[in-house]
Chains A and B, each alone.
Chain A
Amino acid sequence: MYRTAKGEEIFVIDGHTHFWDGSPANQRNVHGKQFIDCFYAYHSNLSPPSEKWEKEKFEKYDAKTMFDDLFVAGYDDMAILQPTYLTDFYKNGFNTTERNSALKKSHPDRFILNGAFDPRDGTKGLEDLHALSEKHKLKGVKLYTAEWRGESKGYKLTDKASYQYLEAAQKLGIKNIHVHKGPTIIPLNRDAFDVADIDDVATSFQDLNFIVEHCGLPRLDDFCWIATQETNVYAGLAVALPFIHTRPGYFAHVISELLFWVGPDKILYGSDYGIWTPKWLIDKFMAFEIPADVTKETGSVLSMETKTKILGLNAARIYGIDVEAQKKKIRAGGGYAHLSEAVHAPR
């Protein structure tokens, strides 16, 4: 919960969080080490110095640390747990649905638990998806189209098998398909980042929402074009948002283009925790205004209403969260006790 100077309460849903174990004890091989090292480079490079973690904490944090960073020190009201399996690199997986489910179990009002599937897993994978969905009542999944598996160097959402899985997801009530289209794992070919397959499935599956994580970076230009044409394509801000600190000028351009092409109703805030933490991201985001020269070019303005949508209302809409009812639940559980009459507004 973020409170403005006028006393407005902004409900925050963090669209992208992880509860991983990248510790040396869990690393299966050098790839496991290099993977968490690469995440740490993202963290070190884009975080303000005061927010930088020690490597050990970054490799593996506990559930309490995460809860405090998101909901006590941070302004998140709810957070979506996105799994990243990487079982080839990590003995127990990096960040599985199972691992995440412990958090959901302890704090059911605070977390939204997403699953995952990989169309290359065939009939067995479809059965697993049914079981996973039944067990956790999934409303969303996270997909990595560029992930290698055996001889395969990734897949496209337009593959026949992907269609079968998307049809199954639709039947199971899994409405939100988060697709990682951004800096990624083991890309042999640069076209693993291609966003064109989103265009096709967004048309074919009108009832599903496709949230393009990292807003298609490093293909922002292609992504904006697709998102403009499809009503059910969303932009996830994870990775783009931290630039607000290191390169505010570029962030202004990126958010302006997203507002112009994708629109204020289809952009979702995400911290990508534990790469970055919600507190500083939201403090800076709330204080941010698009410079006049950029607004002149694009006509985009980051109004309070737009910020409110990006920070929570858009995610609430696609995940069927009744914000007022949810606030009551959280308040009843003592979730806002630490807030007292605090005001977070920058002005």
Chain B
Amino acid sequence: MSKIQLSHIDKFYGENHVLRDVNLTIEDGDFMTLLGPSGCGKTTTLRVISGLEKAQHGTMTIDDRMVIDADKAFFEAPSKRGLNLVFQSYALWPHMTVFENVAFGLKIKKMKKEEIEETVMRALRTMRIEEYRGRYPNELSGGQQQRVAIARAIASSPKLLLLDEPLSNLDARLRIDMRAELKRLHKETGTTIIYVTHDQVEALTMSTKIALFKEGEISQIDTPLGLYTNPIDLQAADFIGNPRINFIEAKGFYDGTGLKVKSAFGEYVFAKEFMKLDEEIPENREFDCVLGLRPEMVDIYTEDPHHKNTVPARVYANQPAGSETLVTLTVGDTEFLAIQVGLVEYDMNQNVFVVLHPGRMNVYNKETGRLIKYAKTKHKAGTDD
């Protein structure tokens, strides 16, 4: 059991306001990822949770136990918070063997020798590095060092495991292996994990929940699917997804019952139930808005498929990349990217038909940059949109 609750956390470095009123609840067993570009405050948040940094304002509880109460200048010592941390640099002690690195914290806890031996070996087995127990960190590869760092963090069976960009120093292949390893670790131990990364693929593939950071604030907390389908603002939409989402300029009109959106693709009408009504939406006047269109939500046909949402388009450029093909298309002056599974050949300037799914599009108020119409998370085969 460990539920972490951060309320109104503020953190300054001198004049620099690096965390602004951060509120975050992490349920027991969550794999919570703090995602955002560098300098957005995600690592600082992790360090505040760990106790290595002190917030100037706000509170934090672990299982309703107060660990930070900044107003009373109360900060529980890191070691008493029942957590452990894996550093981006691994921070393995170079003068200790793998075994000694993992055993260090247990020794401080004054565990018995046999018990230490057993606990350390269990952690090393979990990370599949038993055979390196006698080696020094500089005798290990990057991936092996990473495993030692994780073994050291899980040896004390923390209720909460913090990971700070643990995969950023690994090469692309090892990173995929380690992602699988971490996901398995989460399932097996059931430990609550807080994971910091700037890599959206890591966030989307591993987390149960993602907190998206922007300039020291949390802009959105959602499941990976929720975040991907409905980024809360244009910046978030732009950040999540590779290749990037297409933004289509459009004009909106909201009459209180539904939202009409006119763009190069034609006119769509969205029912009120899909709208995010707590946002600023001008009523009974035309306003600038932006359509968010995921590249994989574009189907390309060489013959007219006679689908209700068909638009004629022209191929601008074609980039086959083996498992997928990126196609740049134009409709009138509007240019957008589509992604097709497998190798598909199109000629430059070839005329094609694209089927779009308005239900799967997001609509943003251009002025505020905020989401005003949700995309459906699933679309049923055979439906109109």
Verify that A and B bind, or say they do not: no
Footprint of A on B, CB under 8 Å? none
Footprint of B on A, CB under 8 Å? none
